[in-house]
Structure 1
Amino acid sequence: MYVAEPLKKLALLGATKNLIKISSAEFAQYTTTSSKTAARLLKKLEDDRYIERRLVPGGQKIILTCNGIELLRKEYDEYQRIFCGDGEDIELYGQVVAGLGEGQYYISQNSYMLQFSEKLGFQPFPGTLNIKLNENSVSILQRMDCIQPVCIQGFNDAERTFGAGKCYPIKIDGVKSAIIVPERTHYPTNLLEIIAPVNLREKLHLKDGDEVKIVVEKKDKREG
């Protein structure tokens, strides 16, 4: 059997982050094989260092190794090229609008700032630029499924919980920035919040009503 397929089954069961307990008979149901074949398959994945496995009563505890995760990541990238193509960067257009003044409070949280610096390569200005997309760009926005996001983890402090979110690296007039999409938001789908290492309003001399172009870069171009 193709190695990526059983790895995908294990990943869907949560084995990318945590040890999962599963018997060979249970795994056989996910791979449509016999229990003996499933047991041999798990042993091969272990021998090839795609998983770490610890035998326990009633089965085994399994977690994917870095090699296993990397193999799935390569598989993911190939499917992206199949279904999304290697075409031009995605361009979105919209107008600058006033925000609700909440961005500065959330962006300034230290646990967020550390993740932004590590994962986006910049420490954001404490505030967001709000863009209201035009109708055509809203329809294009569904293509964002073809762009691999940068995941920002939520956290708890002594007083409250701060939610997770996703970031999409972009450029606005050549300035490296990112769209930030909170896991839970009350904003409409046509309103984007953008973070950048500078105050974009001042840097680009923007005011409410000005039209801007947002260039969403494909992952392979970002890495270049």
Structure 2
Amino acid sequence: MYAVEPLKRLALLGAIKKHIKISSAEFAQYTATSSKTTARLLKQLEDDKFIERQLVPGGQMITLTCSGIELLRKEYTEYQHIFSPDNANIELQGKVIAGLGEGQYYISQHGYMSQFSEKLGFQPFPGTLNITLDEASIAMRQPMEFTEPIIIEGFNDGERTFGAGKCYPIRINGIKSAVIIPERTHYPANLLEIIAPVNLREKLHLEDGDEVKVVVEKKDKCEVQNDRHARIQQ
């Protein structure tokens, strides 16, 4: 994207934390373009709301907006994924949101609870913590789903059928938890639904809008193969 490189240069000059004063001619030295082209570039960044700019004698005062910072953070996260080891943990960030209130009903079903206890190593609190991911973390969610999931089988309780799903082990503030993704539900790319052995809202004193960090603990190839072998032997 055209904006990444100039935003990076502005951030390196300090515009990510404060307003910096710079002329188009001065900034052209960092972009390897003419001052006329640089002026148009800065105007485009302003129009796209990646920077805030105020013309002053001798140049302009510039700072990155939240959108500009988020774009750089997304770029940074993607590079982290490219250059990190295959078994490196994935860190996702987002904000707590209110759920639809359906989690308690489904999680508490015996057909699910028995599998959670056996496969996840804990019996979850009957409810979920819902998180909307920031832009940078959305880019990291797909690699998470390419890690080995824990399959939760569907079942019939004699009255109705409950669908299957996948779980991905995570930790929130060191608390062993899991992202759960129902098989038949199309989830937005920015949504995580999390189960844990405790009420995460109460334990971590969370309210809607609070920021949280989710650590997805990836397994290396040997661990995945061992887990598969253990399931086959059972």
Q: TM-score, normalised by structure 2?
A: 0.57
Structure 1 residue 199, shift from structure 2 partner: 0.1
Aligned length: 140
Q: Give the distance between the partners of 2:186 and 2:128, measured in 1 at CA.
A: 15
Alignment of 1:53-68 (within 5 A): none
Corresponding residue for 2:211? 211
Tell me which structure has the larger Cα radius of gyration: 2
- Residue number in structure 2 paired with 1:197: 197
Identity of aligned residues (%): 73
Q: Does 1:178 align with 2:178?
A: yes
The match for 1:142 is 142
In structure 1, C-alpha distance between the alignment counterparts of 2:202 and 2:133, rounded to whole Å: 21
Pair 1:156–1:87, CA change in 2 (3 A): closer
- Amino acid of the residue matched to residue 130 of structure 2? N
The C-alpha deviation readout for 1:152-208, integer Å capped at 9, x for no partner, is: 000012221100000000000000000000001154221110000000000000000
SS at match of 1:117: helix
Q: For the aligned residues, what is the CA RMSD?
A: 1.8
Offset, 1:146: 3.5
Give the match's secondary structure for 1:219. coil
Give the counterpart letter for 1:88 in structure 2.
A
Aligned to 2:27: none
Distance 1:187 1:101 in 2: 16
Q: What residue is the counterpart of 2:126 in the other structure?
A: 126
Alpha-carbon distance in 1 for matches of 2:161, 2:186: 17
CA contact (8 A) 2:172 2:214 kept: yes
* Distance across 2 between alignment mates of 1:180 and 1:145: 11
Deviations 1:131-150 (A, max 9, x none): 00111111111112441100
Matched, 1:91 2:94: no
CA contact (8 A) 2:103 2:127 kept: yes
TM-score for the superposition, normalised by structure 1: 0.59
Q: How many Å separate the matches in 2 of 1:106 and 1:120?
A: 16
Corresponding position of 1:162 = 162
Deviations 1:106-146 (A, max 9, x none): 00000100000000000000000000011111111111244
Structure 2 residue aligned with 1:110:
110
Residues 104 and 115 of structure 1: is their aligned pair in 2 closer, same or farther, counting only changes over 3 Å? same
1:12-51 maps to which residues of 2 (within 5 A)? none
2:153 pairs with 1:153: yes
